[in-house]
Amino acid sequence: MSLEITSANKGFGGWTKHYIHQSSTLSCDMRFAIYLPPQTANGQKVPVLYWLSGLTCTDENFMQKAAAQRMAAELGIAIVAPDTSPRGADVADDEGYDLGQGAGFYVNATQAPWNRHYRMYDYVLNELPDLIQETFPVTAERSISGHSMGGHGALVLALRNPERFRSVSAFSPIGNPVNAPWGQKAFTAYLGKDQSSWSDYDASILMRKAQGAVPALVDQGEADKFLVEQLQPETLETASKTSGYPLTLNRREGYDHSYYFIASFIEDHLRFHAKHLST
């Protein structure tokens, strides 16, 4: 599969690079960013952390704002950040910021017109990791993390595929999207009005009935304006207690929903993943 590199920037001895490729899963061109730590310069293979960003973000936000490269270089972890949705002139869109391009919600859409392109779940689970392994000096070991909508996506992917990930973490995830306005709007459009399929993409529901498990870490800011209506971290806490799921959930006083919050605790998350990727 051909890749077109669009930028390359050296940092902490490694490289942050952005690429475009033709996605067969999404039937459009897709962008992703990758940070290759300095250990890969001599061909050494390293494990990968996949990062899923939130509403309105692209493959650039995390790489530019999270201050993750220094610690990734120290720990010897590659970071891959895909775009948050399919994009293009022929890709369905919506006037709202919380649906359509920039708001893929990491589901496989079943409803027209969204089902033509919006299969972010399959893209992140299968096509993108296959491409990364075929192209870059990385191992098969992977973990996953994300923020807000991306935190929801990371948790869902890990909960449904515990054999594929060593660990999962999230900042301010949408914990119970079937009962949150963001999730209800997106799921109605992408999955249809029949709510029986929605639970396949709800982390709290999946965690409550989980059979297999990977270690999970969640950080939530207590000053987050979306805390009560959209994020509902208490649903994850209740689910973990019900099933005994290995979840650590930290409530951070004074922190909001921004990348200032993510940058403050990204080192903790990278160290958490490094511990599990090395076992």
Q: Which of 117, 152, 257, 276 is catalytic?
A: 257
Phi then psi for residue 225, to 5 deg, are -70, -15
Residue 251 burial (C-beta neighbours within 10 Å; 0-12, 13-18, 19+)? middle
Which DSSP helix (H) or strand (E) runs through 109? Answer: none
Q: Which of 147, 169, 224, 240 is catalytic?
A: 224
Q: For residue 257, indicate whether it is catalytic.
A: yes
At residue 85, the 3 state secondary structure works out as coil
Q: Which of 53, 85, 148, 240 is catalytic?
A: 148
Note whether 53 and 151 are within 8 A (CB): no
At residue 89, the 3 state secondary structure works out as coil
Residue 268 tokens, joined = 């903790």
DSSP secondary structure letters along 172-228: S--S-GGGSHHHHHHHHHHH-S-GGGGGGG-HHHHHHT-SS---EEEEEETT-TTII
Residue 166 tokens, joined = 């060593």
Q: Report d(CA 142, CA 47) in Å as an integer.
A: 6
Q: For residue 224, indicate whether it is catalytic.
A: yes
Residue 80 tokens, joined = 């891959």
User: Could you list the active site residues?
Assistant: 148, 224, 257
